[in-house]
Amino acid sequence: MPDMAWQVDPSSGVNGTCTLRRSVLLLAFCWAGWVALPAQPQAPPVQQSTSFADTLRHSQGKELHIFYIHGIGSDGPDDFDSLALRKSLCKFLKDCTTEAGTAIGEWDYANHDEFAPDAQAPDLHFIDEPVWKNQEEWRAAAPYSIHFQLVRRGGSTLYVDELNWWPLTFSLKCRQIIASEADLVGPNKVRIPVCSRRQPNAEVPLRFKSYDWIDKDAAARLLKKPSHGARLNRDLKSGLMDWGFSDAVMLLGPLRPYVLSGIRQLILKSLSDSAASKALAPDERPRNEEFVIVSHSLGSYLMFAALDAHLSQLQTSEINPSDKSFDQILARTSFVFFFANQLRILQLAGLDGPSDRNLSTHLEAWGKTRCDYLKTIDPSHQCQLPRITALNDPSDLLTWTVPSLSSVEVENYSVKNSAHWFWLIENPTPAHNRYANQRRGIQKMLEEHPQNSR
């Protein structure tokens, strides 16, 4: 229909003619503006993820990092603790370009202060024997991380930073436990080869992927020794106690500060190496990143002690009291998953209230830091507590429930990692090691659950 012109009264101060169509548009625009004048637009409410699955689906614009830290009894460089987790994540996402992601970059070693390539070995002794006999052995004990990316066809790339602290324990376990046990109960034919394999890291000078803590000749002699004791008892002792729980004992003693320092260095290196961090100033690095922590066994005890640097007795050139990087990581971490944990049993060594050895101290600090961060985004928003989901196999000899915490939401969830033989026994090794392979456990990690209303 042709435009219909109408005459405008010259006394009105408007010159010329307007079409009816243009006039209607002008009036509508003015009316909308007039209606909006009395009140300012309200900021949209803060959208907080209510599940890990929700975080994965809405990660656009941010780098999502999963810090994975292993627990007791790692079998060294061929263990690849995070592999099952990465496979399970890709199976859930359904759009990964590879089955379990791909490694990016070289192995990243802790390399500052006490872990510098030219640093002297610490003056620690087992009875009268030094734990590390020279600089080469100490360099072989440096913790390291491996970085993986899960490239997706329909979503943002997901990063998994696998933190490995096991090298610090191998000198003691191989020489003082595994070698000596060959005389008492017989040779451990799985771990003696692990303890006697020498493999320099060709891509990283002066570092090792594996080290011969027991030389090959000694290993050959040990493997020829006869076995003693009942078979099941022998297997439990050499595997669960000698190779596994000995880690927990060591980490309660003088080795602990070195492990925590190594983990902290690896965390900071993971941040500085990430794509988002490279474009930011050091004090802004974590701001474009979100974090999820997945820890196995003893790893939960170590990870939160490492992140809570304020209580640390060990300050290095990489970590100082004014550094806010760890606070920012805790602030941007909303979900934590424990694949087995020893919180209750190890807490027996920290009965003196808030302290560096009291894990509840570190967990409560995380909850407070997270809540303070959310208030900076929207002061009127009720704080959504960060969440721990603790997966526990009742037949796992090395897991306990996580106690209730005031500033963290805790859910303990039971799974079954292996078959029960005649309803009497479940193999303790898979019971402790197969959380990332367990379908119900992964479903629990990735399920949708209602937003916490507290």
- pLDDT tens for residues 306-353? 988 665 544 444 455 446 788 889 999 989 999 999 988 888 887 776
**HEC per residue, 60-129:** CCCEEEEEEECCCCCCHHHCCCCHHHHHHHHHHHCCECCCCCEEEEEEEECCCHHHCCCCCCCCCEECCE
Q: Which carries the bigger pLDDT value, residue 24 or residue 320?
A: 320
Q: Does 446 score more than 70 pLDDT? A: yes
Q: Does 404 score more than 70 pLDDT? A: yes
Confidence (pLDDT) at 310: 66
- CA-nearest of 395, 313, 403 to 363 is 403
Confidence (pLDDT) at 2: 41
The total number of residues shown for the chain amounts to: 454
Query: How many Cβ atoms are within 10 Å of 2's Cβ, its own excluded?
Result: 5
Confidence of residue 35 (pLDDT cuts 50, 70, 90): very low
Confidence (pLDDT) at 50: 67
Q: Which carries the bigger pLDDT value, residue 317 or residue 365?
A: 365
Q: Is 297 helix (H, G, I), strand (E, B) or coil?
A: coil
pLDDT in tens, 92-122: 888 999 999 999 999 999 999 999 999 999 9
Question: 164 - beta bridge partners?
Answer: 144
pLDDT in tens, 285-305: 555 788 999 999 999 989 998
Confidence (pLDDT) at 49: 60
What is the rounded CA–CA span in Å between residue 114 and residue 167?
14
Q: Does 178 score more than 80 pLDDT? A: yes
What is the rounded CA–CA span in Å between residue 338 and residue 59?
22
- CA-nearest of 61, 50, 54, 59 to 158 is 59
pLDDT in tens, 416-438: 998 887 777 788 888 898 898 88
Q: Does 162 score more than 50 pLDDT? A: yes
Confidence (pLDDT) at 26: 35
Question: 96 - beta bridge partners?
Answer: 152
Q: Is 0.85 surpassed by the pTM of this model?
A: no
Return the residue matching tokens 């009942």. 230
Confidence (pLDDT) at 390: 95
Confidence (pLDDT) at 111: 95
Question: Angle of helix 439-446 relative to helix 83-93, nearest 10 degrees?
Answer: 60
DSSP 346-413: HGGG--SSSSTT-HHHHHHHHHHHHHHHHHHH-TTSPP---EEEEEE-TT-TT--PPPP-SSSEEEEE
What's the rounded mean pLDDT across residues 126-130? Answer: 95
Confidence (pLDDT) at 379: 84
Q: Does 4 score more than 80 pLDDT? A: no
Confidence (pLDDT) at 420: 85
Confidence (pLDDT) at 72: 93
Out of 191-205, 236-250, 265-279, 325-339, least confident range: 265-279
Confidence (pLDDT) at 285: 55
Confidence (pLDDT) at 82: 92
Confidence (pLDDT) at 448: 57
Percent of the chain whose predicted confidence (pLDDT) is above 70: 78
Confidence of residue 354 (pLDDT cuts 50, 70, 90): low
Confidence (pLDDT) at 315: 46
Q: Does 46 score more than 60 pLDDT? A: no
DSSP 155-206: S--EEEEEEE-THHHHHHIIIIIIHHHHHHT---TTHHHHHT--EE-TTSTT
Q: Is 224 helix (H, G, I), strand (E, B) or coil?
A: coil
What is the rounded CA–CA span in Å between residue 6 and residue 21?
11
What is the rounded CA–CA span in Å between residue 123 and residue 393?
39
Q: Does 13 score more than 60 pLDDT? A: no
Confidence (pLDDT) at 358: 78
Q: Which two tokens stand for residue 424?
A: 């009497």
Q: Does 42 score more than 60 pLDDT? A: no
Q: Rounded to 5 degrees, what angle do the CA atoms 158, 159, 163 make?
A: 150
What's the rounded mean pLDDT across residues 218-225? Answer: 97
